[in-house]
């Protein structure tokens, strides 16, 4: 089956910083908050090509999601997996391309899973058709000889390394099916949950993005998966109460608030007003909505009812 994939242009410093860390996910960010290509869907290969004079493919990953995010949120979600050491370095890199920026500017975030980084001796020279004026990147297609040859070379490099699992590509899992089966990172989880809930708190509808957090229903520390169906987007105080068992969500989507809040803190009016209400915001896709098994675990094992 023919496959299209993307080759994106990036800085050598970004690549080398991440190669030294060998992360499980990366944010291939861009100064402008717009999509690179409409065909990109979860699971599609996304390769890294360095600027001249290093006109070679040096690694890649597998596309998860594009999202236009405030730079601060991108840093909080991915940290050093943005390819820089701290938030200030991210802003400095951004200003190199956009000039001085005020506030918390949006950047384009291409979230990539299972990144791989080739040793310099394994770098792959670009095909002759690559034009010197390409700034962002371009699409290749294995239905065309050039694209097929390039992808076969990349695949051979990965097989030689032996550490890289190609299951996602070889099984031809793309789209939502990829997100269900792939081992996603914490940053991807946060962004996917945030977007699934339309950047609104599931209980209150709050839209102030800096105070919204992606909560695991079954905690990650207890082997909870980074799936949207194991997540809720909650205002930060509600997230804390949820994690500590002072509130839960019943399997029918109703909010339950523990009497322990009043007993222990002689307060809680702000929270008790939501008791018995159904979630105000839920994902559009049924498979992204909170899974009953995860909700049942939280109610039976963590809730202080």
pTM of the model: 0.92
Range list of β-strands (E), 103-241: 106-117, 124-125, 137-141, 212-216, 231-235
Q: Has residue 171 got a pLDDT over 50?
A: no
Cβ–Cβ under 8 Å, residues 107 and 72: no
Cβ atoms 37, 139 nearer than 8 A: yes
Q: State the average pLDDT over residues 154-168.
A: 70
How much is the pLDDT for 182? Answer: 83
Confidence category of residue 176, pLDDT binned at 50, 70, 90: confident
Q: From start to end of the chain, where are the E strands?
A: 4-10, 25-30, 45-50, 56-70, 106-117, 124-125, 137-141, 212-216, 231-235, 247-249, 255-257
pLDDT at site 178: 86
Give residue-wise pLDDT tens across range 103-133. Answer: 999 999 999 999 999 999 999 999 999 999 9
Which one has a higher pLDDT value, 70 or 161? 70
Position 172 pLDDT exceeds 70: no
Residue range 87-111, pLDDT digits in tens: 999 999 999 999 988 899 999 999 9
For the chain, domains (ranges, CATH) are: 4-180 (2.30.130.30), 197-301 (no CATH)
Residue 208 has pLDDT above 70, yes or no: yes
Kindly report, residue by residue over 234-269, the tens digit of the pLDDT. Answer: 999 999 999 999 999 999 999 999 999 999 999 999
CB 56 within 8 Å of CB 49: yes
């Amino acid at each position: 089956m023919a496959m299209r994939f993307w080759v994106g242009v990036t800085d050598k410093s970004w690549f080398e910083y991440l190669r030294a860390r060998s992360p499980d996910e990366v944010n291939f960010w861009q100064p402008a908050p717009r999509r690179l290509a409409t065909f990109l869907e979860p699971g599609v290969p996304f390769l890294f090509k360095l600027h001249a004079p290093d006109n070679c493919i040096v690694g890649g990953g597998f596309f998860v999601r594009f999202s236009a995010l405030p730079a601060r949120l991108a840093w909080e979600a991915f940290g050093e997996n943005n390819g820089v050491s701290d938030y200030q370095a991210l802003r400095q890199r951004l200003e190199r391309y956009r000039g001085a920026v005020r506030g918390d500017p949006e950047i384009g975030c291409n979230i990539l899973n299972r990144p791989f980084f080739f040793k310099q001796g394994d770098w792959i020279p670009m095909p002759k058709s690559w034009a010197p004026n390409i700034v962002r990147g371009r699409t290749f297609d294995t239905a065309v000889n050039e694209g097929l040859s390039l992808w076969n070379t990349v695949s051979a490099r990965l097989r030689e390394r032996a550490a890289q699992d190609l299951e996602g590509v070889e099984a031809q899992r793309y789209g939502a099916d990829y997100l269900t089966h792939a081992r996603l990172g914490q940053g991807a989880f946060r962004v996917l949950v945030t977007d699934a809930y339309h950047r609104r708190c599931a209980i209150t509808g709050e839209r102030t993005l800096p105070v919204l957090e992606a909560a695991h229903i079954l905690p990650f520390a207890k082997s909870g998966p980074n799936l949207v169906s194991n997540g809720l987007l909650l205002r930060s105080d509600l997230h804390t109460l949820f994690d500590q068992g002072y509130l839960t969500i019943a399997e029918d989507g109703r909010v339950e608030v523990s009497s322990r809040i009043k007993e222990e803190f002689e307060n809680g009016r702000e929270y008790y007003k939501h008791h018995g209400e159904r979630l105000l915001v839920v994902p559009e896709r049924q498979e992204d909505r909170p899974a009953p098994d995860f909700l049942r675990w939280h109610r039976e094992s963590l809730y202080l009812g």
